[in-house]
Structure 1
Amino acid sequence: MKNKFIHTIRWKFLFVFVVSVAGTALFILLSFLLGRYLLAFDPINIPLIWVINNIGSEPTAIVVGIILFLVIYYLLSRKIIGYLEEIMLGLHEIKQGQFDYTIPVHSSDELGMIAVQANEMAAELNRYLAEITYGLHEIAKGRFEHKIPVKLANDLGMVADSINHMSAQLSRSIQEERNAEKTKNDLITGVSHDLRTPLTSILGFLELIEKDRYQDEVELRYYVNIAYSKATSLKKLIDDLFEYTRMNNGLPLKLVELDMTDFLRQLVEEFVPYMENEDIVCRIDAPNEAVKVLVDGDRLVRAYENLMSNAIRYGRKGKYIDLVIGQKDRVVFVKMTNYGDPISDRDLPYIFDRFYRAEQSRSKETGGTGLGLAIAKSIIEVHGGTISVHSDHRQTTFETRFPVSC
């Protein structure tokens, strides 16, 4: 618009200049013809003869022409200059943010068109500014879903887009805070429930013993065994909870280069008695060459212990656990497959949540503490790895992936 405005002014003043020159030339020509005609009449010709003899016709024509040109140019340009001053004043007000200012439209020519366009632009900016202001009021009320339309490819459009991004980020932050609060409350609820249940049993049986409410030593030992078993479960829950909290609070890692094949073979050997008791065999498929990753072995063993325990607990019916170790595209993968009951599609998205048990049981035999898979996920992710699960009617596979050690 600025270039168009300057171009229009140039053409306007060029037009005034041409008209002024043409008018001056026409006036001098008519004056010359009139002067020749008047030379034949006395005494009218006396001043003309004096001017011609003493000054000269050409200097007189030049002086008169210059004066006449300036007068015509001033008279013709005065209106244009006045209108330009009005337009410039209006543009200055709009530039200062007075978008409700209206430039008067005095003509239908180019300057009038510029005034109309400037008014339309200011009105559009004023409407858009009102939309932005309304959007800010909505966001201030907590309605973060409100979106300000991004219509213009200028500073106001960038402001609107920035406000939308800010609102979305603020909404996410508030939602994350709410989720964190809910997570904290869920954690307290889960911990309270899981701690209270075995503790209640322990206190109950100890009360029977303390009040001598048993018939003989056999019944006393029975009560003691149950209390001991519940105390052991309680200790395991506290240990798991402590481990989960440590991992999520950024426990420092002692990274070393580790061969995943040797690491997992040794782990399986430690589970052999447990698997024999459940009549389960672990089959390992691994490459001959070393598959190395940079990990904290003490932390990682806890993750795979939990995965192995989970596979044995829920894979009893399948009789086999398949462990596949491999490397592809600079990624080391480990697939642990059991052939027991599948995980339902309803439970699959929540399988790594703390205190979540797919069968919704809190029994020691099948439910565990509900923290095993959550701990495994935390340990694997803190190493820069990922863990996923796939389950159907034939098998359930937990897959972990790590970047190859450089």
Structure 2
Amino acid sequence: MPSTSGSKWLHSVRWKFLAAALASAAPTAAVLYAFYLLSKYLIRHPFFAVPMAPIINGFGSTPVLVVTGAASFLFFYFLFSRGTIRRLEQLDASLRDMENGDLGTVAQRPATDELGQAADSIDRLAKKLSDYMERVTEGLQAVASGRLEYRIEIDRSYGDFARIAESINAMAEQLDRSIRDERHAEKTKNDLVTGVSHDLRTPLTSILGFLEVIEQDRYKDEVELRHYVNIAYEKARTLKKLIDDLFEYTRIGGGMPLARTELDLTDLLRQLAEEFVPSLDKASMTCRLAAPDEPLVIEGDGNLLMRAFENLMSNAISHGEGSPYVDIEIERREDIAWIRVVNYGEPIPAMDLPFIFDRFYRGDRSRTSGGTGLGLAIVKSIAEVHGGSVRARSDRSRTAFEIALPALRSS
């Protein structure tokens, strides 16, 4: 449907042409009357009568007057409508210029009628679009120059142009995010190399140092020799554990396929508690398992999940000093299985809590199993490749590590 302003504009154009037609009628009638009087006068003279007589006698006076009237009417109609036609041609030329991308054109001189108002509207539209295109161009130039934080102001009154500006802003934001992610990935890689280098160098330096003492016979007796060998052996075990953890972390993060099977978490964690009885006894602790009566089944890689729970269990035993218990709690909330491993030792400092799942992170006291700085990072990776998540809560009463995993629907 045409808009109100468009209908008004068309109505005005019709009236202008109608007015031109009505205005042409009066001079046409005057021309016909004058032609009639002139013909009546001229036909009395022999000089004019000779050429006029065959025309009048052959065609008749009425057809001659009709032809003369039509020609006169068309002449006067064109004369009176010429201004309107010229203004319409100017409007059409302005619209064609806008279609070709020239938004700086002026439609025509100002006027107070509807055509003048239409011309003013076209001029305002061209200026508005030109201004917004300059803003869009400025935004694109800013993005091209690397100023990805630049955002074009969105004005909904511009319709499709506003959507173009939104798309440019979204593109700039995505580029900015991609670059930041790339820089973060580069930093993470550098941190990983730095962390691995440091953690490998420390035990390796000790091993080389003690082996050098042994190789140069700088020990007093066999007892001291065995002492040095034992230290080198323990450092070598630490080194192997770090390498194993690093390999495991890289393997999980590399997207290796999972050997998924249906697992009953209650049975899996009961088996875990039994395997840790010697470690618990050595620490004078007992593991308490709280689980639902019905099976809680998930789909996952049993070996990987067992590795994650082992890391949490080792962590709980290491940092649950002074408490006789480590608790494992299992519950189902809708379609999510929640597993909590709880210890009652010293709380994790609040400033460390957001970072304890980062690889090689160590706060005032390490919360990672085995001290490699990768234990909790491995737990997080295992949870995430199973479509789950992990979090930690800690206060003066207890510290709980919670893993959330998708549970299968009960049959």
Q: TM-score, normalised by structure 2?
A: 0.88
Is 1:369 equivalent to 2:372 in the alignment?
Answer: yes
Is 1:359 equivalent to 2:364 in the alignment?
Answer: yes
Q: Contact 1:28–1:61 (CA<8 Å) still a contact in 2?
A: no
Secondary structure of 2:390 counterpart:
strand
Distance 2:269 2:293 in 1: 14
TM-superposed CA distance for 1:158, in Å, is: 2.2
Distance 1:313 1:377 in 2: 19
TM-superposed CA distance for 1:210, in Å, is: 0.8
Is 1:396 equivalent to 2:399 in the alignment?
Answer: yes
Aligned to 1:208: 213
Judged with a 3 Å threshold, the aligned counterparts in structure 2 of structure 1 residues 62 and 392 are, in CA distance, closer, same or farther, namely same
Aligned to 2:163: 158
Alignment of 1:236-255 (within 5 A): 236-255=241-260
Alignment of 1:101-250 (within 5 A): 101-151=105-155, 152-250=157-255
Alignment of 1:229-308 (within 5 A): 229-308=234-313
Judged with a 3 Å threshold, the aligned counterparts in structure 2 of structure 1 residues 43 and 394 are, in CA distance, closer, same or farther, namely closer
Secondary structure of 1:121 counterpart:
helix
Q: Contact 2:107–2:119 (CA<8 Å) still a contact in 1?
A: yes
Alignment of 1:61-100 (within 5 A): 65-100=69-104
Q: Contact 1:361–1:367 (CA<8 Å) still a contact in 2?
A: no
Distance 2:350 2:370 in 1: 19
Distance 2:162 2:110 in 1: 32
Judged with a 3 Å threshold, the aligned counterparts in structure 2 of structure 1 residues 29 and 75 are, in CA distance, closer, same or farther, namely closer
Is 1:341 equivalent to 2:346 in the alignment?
Answer: yes
TM-superposed CA distance for 1:72, in Å, is: 2.6
Is 1:382 equivalent to 2:382 in the alignment?
Answer: no
Secondary structure of 2:101 counterpart:
coil
Secondary structure of 1:316 counterpart:
coil
TM-superposed CA distance for 1:154, in Å, is: 3.2
Structure 1: which 5+ runs fail to align?
none
TM-superposed CA distance for 1:393, in Å, is: 1.4
Deviates more, 1:198-207 or 1:17-26: 17-26
TM-superposed CA distance for 1:168, in Å, is: 0.8
Structure 2: which 5+ runs fail to align?
46-51
Q: Contact 1:150–1:160 (CA<8 Å) still a contact in 2?
A: yes
Secondary structure of 1:318 counterpart:
coil
Secondary structure of 2:109 counterpart:
coil
Deviates more, 1:222-231 or 1:155-164: 155-164
> Residues 341-391 of structure 1, C-alpha deviation per residue, up to 9 Å, x if partnerless?
1112211110100011232559x9x86111000001101110111111111
Paired AA for residue 24 in structure 1:
A
TM-superposed CA distance for 1:399, in Å, is: 1.1
Q: Contact 1:24–1:69 (CA<8 Å) still a contact in 2?
A: yes
Q: Contact 1:390–1:398 (CA<8 Å) still a contact in 2?
A: yes
Distance 2:28 2:222 in 1: 141
Distance 2:6 2:109 in 1: 15
Distance 2:380 2:331 in 1: 20
TM-superposed CA distance for 1:194, in Å, is: 0.6
> Residues 285-319 of structure 1, C-alpha deviation per residue, up to 9 Å, x if partnerless?
11111110001101111010001111111112222
Judged with a 3 Å threshold, the aligned counterparts in structure 2 of structure 1 residues 191 and 323 are, in CA distance, closer, same or farther, namely same
Give every structure 1 segment of 4 or more consecutive aligned residues whose post-TM-superposition deviation is greater than 6 Å.
Answer: 29-32, 42-47, 53-61
Distance 1:207 1:246 in 2: 35
> Residues 220-245 of structure 1, C-alpha deviation per residue, up to 9 Å, x if partnerless?
11111111111111111110011001
Q: Contact 2:110–2:120 (CA<8 Å) still a contact in 1?
A: no
Q: Contact 2:338–2:402 (CA<8 Å) still a contact in 1?
A: yes
Aligned to 1:11: 12
Deviates more, 1:55-64 or 1:325-334: 55-64
TM-superposed CA distance for 1:124, in Å, is: 1.4
> Residues 53-83 of structure 1, C-alpha deviation per residue, up to 9 Å, x if partnerless?
9899976775555444323321111111111
Paired AA for residue 133 in structure 2:
L
Q: Contact 2:24–2:80 (CA<8 Å) still a contact in 1?
A: no
Distance 1:181 1:280 in 2: 43
Q: Contact 2:25–2:73 (CA<8 Å) still a contact in 1?
A: yes
Judged with a 3 Å threshold, the aligned counterparts in structure 2 of structure 1 residues 318 and 76 are, in CA distance, closer, same or farther, namely farther
Distance 1:43 1:245 in 2: 116
> Residues 100-151 of structure 1, C-alpha deviation per residue, up to 9 Å, x if partnerless?
2222225221111111111111111111111112112211221110001222
Distance 1:188 1:263 in 2: 35
Q: TM-score, normalised by structure 1?
A: 0.89
Deviates more, 1:171-180 or 1:128-137: 128-137
Q: Contact 2:29–2:69 (CA<8 Å) still a contact in 1?
A: yes
Distance 2:211 2:31 in 1: 133
Q: Contact 1:17–1:73 (CA<8 Å) still a contact in 2?
A: no
Deviates more, 1:252-261 or 1:139-148: 139-148
Distance 1:131 1:35 in 2: 65
Distance 2:311 2:268 in 1: 15
Paired residues, number: 397
